[in-house]
Amino acid sequence: MNILLLGYGKMGKEIEKVAISRGHQIAHKIDLNNVEDLHTINPTEIDVAIEFSGPEAAVANLLFCLNNNIPVVSGSTGWLDRKSEIDSICLQKKGAFFYASNYSLGVNVFFHVNRVLAKVMSRYPTYNVAIEETHHTEKKDAPSGTALTLAKDVIDHIKTKTSWVNASAHELSQLSIVSKREPQVPGTHLVKYDSQVDSIEIKHIAHSREGFALGAVVAAEWLPRKVGVFGMEDMMEF
């Protein structure tokens, strides 16, 4: 496949390595240094775009792809207040848009386990639930998109939780998400249920960015010739 890379930071470079190792070509690499080159691209020469830019560029990049009939896989965070708009445009244009807050295959198994555990724990109100996430110091947004996905699935099942706060919670209805930033941490996420008698924890630790990049490239291989809005649950068939 000919791949358009939108965003060429650390993740973009890792995606490039994985894509080439799997026999694909990187047709163009666009970042903040050459963003004007985006409009010189011939869309018919692109099979799929992989978008891992910053929050300030993500929406414009996605609109470019959808308006030019380029299937697009996105992993950017910090712009999700406009995701419903992008979903709607994709459907209107009969395009293909794949979004995940985290492309690690292991993390998506973790998401599935989180949903199952939250459903079980909804029957035991003596446990209080909280989330903790740790990432590298260069990560711009907090909480992470992965933590927000975990939080949404907890709130969907634990009826005592109605909202999240990016701090220690002071009200029972709030789900605490504590964000930590430390050097050289690809990503660690912890969901903890705590009671007076015991605690239950599930945890995912990423050892490198390679797992995220592999999942994004696998999604890019899966998406072409499809129409609609998709996510990892569609591809992994949970």
Active site residues: 135, 139
- Beta strand ranges found along the chain (DSSP E): 2-6, 25-30, 48-51, 72-74, 96-99, 128-135, 163-165, 174-181, 188-194, 199-205, 228-230
- For residue 222, which of 209, 234, 238, 213 has the smallest C-alpha distance? 234
Residues 6+ apart with CB under 8 A from 188: 133, 134, 135, 203, 204, 205, 206
Token pair for 200: 């239950």
Name the phi and psi angles at 19, rounded to 5: -60, -45
Report the amino acid identity of residue 209: R
Token pair for 125: 């109100």
Rg (C-alpha) for the chain, rounded Å, is 19
**174, 164 contact by CB (below 8 A):** yes
